[in-house]
Amino acid sequence: MVARIDVDGGPGRTGAPDGARQTAREDERLAELSTESQDERLADLDRRSTIGVLEALNDAEAEVPAAVRRALPQLTALVDATAERLQAGGRLLYVGAGTSGRLGVIDAAECPPTFHTDPELVQGLMAGGQGAMFVAVEGAEDDPELGAADLAAVAVGPRDVVVGITASGRTPYVRGAVRAAREAGALTAAVVCNADSVLATEVDIAIEAVVGPEVLTGSTRLKAGSATKQVLNMLSTAVMVRLGRVHGNLMVDVSVTNEKLRARAERLVATITGADASAAAAALRAADDRVKTAVVMLERDTDRAGAEKLLEAAGGRLGEVIDG
């Protein structure tokens, strides 16, 4: 666990400094961020050929995986802590503004169809509300009290995990939300793209995917956005693996919501059980389109109710039912 400070100052401070001084200090901090720095090697970007611009963008994106890999020890700790809390009835709450907020909402929205989770289990909160997914809400990210209010609105508690997402590591909305989460006893984490950010000092676990200057100076939807998306993909996927919502590397909790996914689900049943396509499809229908239930019905020669009971006793872990 790292040291923490209050949103309005450092350890032991009482009250805020003069407004002008505080603004100047924030401007200085912003100027020092690596994501706000100019890559002088690309100062001629506007004079390059189209292929030259694209090569610069592609070269920059190639740096992202290494930045994420350097953060794997901290991400490992966050995955294990999150899985433990979700197993105990907690939730994973992403909080962000702008691009960072949108990425959190996207990852949360993908969990129900991919892992058949309750929409409440993984949620994305963003400055300005869900409407800000499509139209920027001016000033919303600068209000720490709005972040705190949004956390209060979802009744954050001690079993929850709150992940603040901000490339800069200093967004007031996110810091306000993290402060509220901390006061509620939740586990707090940060996904940031700058080293030694203020938010990293205010959370339990800091994921620092430091990507450096952007091709387009300050446009953190580029490398920083890609790094953030990778981290969130890895976090939610690894947590679901730990929770038993994956069998081998098969997506056995997929929600069947269209014909493509029905065909995938039928193939999963056939792959795991060795049943022919017709038997797999029939079992899936009898299992109300739940892949794991259909597999257990075939493997254990039981009906839907019996299969569901076996899965419940195993905590939803398919391998424990059919391999144990």
Q: CA distances (Å), 296 to each of 182, 193, 261, 277, 317, in order? A: 42, 44, 19, 16, 11
Q: Could you confirm whether 141 is annotated as catalytic?
A: yes
Catalytic residue among 36, 61, 84, 110: 110
Give the whole-angstrom CA distance, residue 97 versus residue 75: 21
Give the whole-angstrom CA distance, residue 82 versus residue 187: 8
Give the whole-angstrom CA distance, residue 275 versus residue 286: 15
Q: What is the DSSP string of 54-123?
A: HHHHHHHHTTHHHHHHTTHHHHHHHHHHHHHHHHTT--EEEEESHHHHHHHHHHHHHHHHHH---TTTEE
Give the whole-angstrom CA distance, residue 283 versus residue 280: 5
Catalytic (active-site) positions: 110, 141
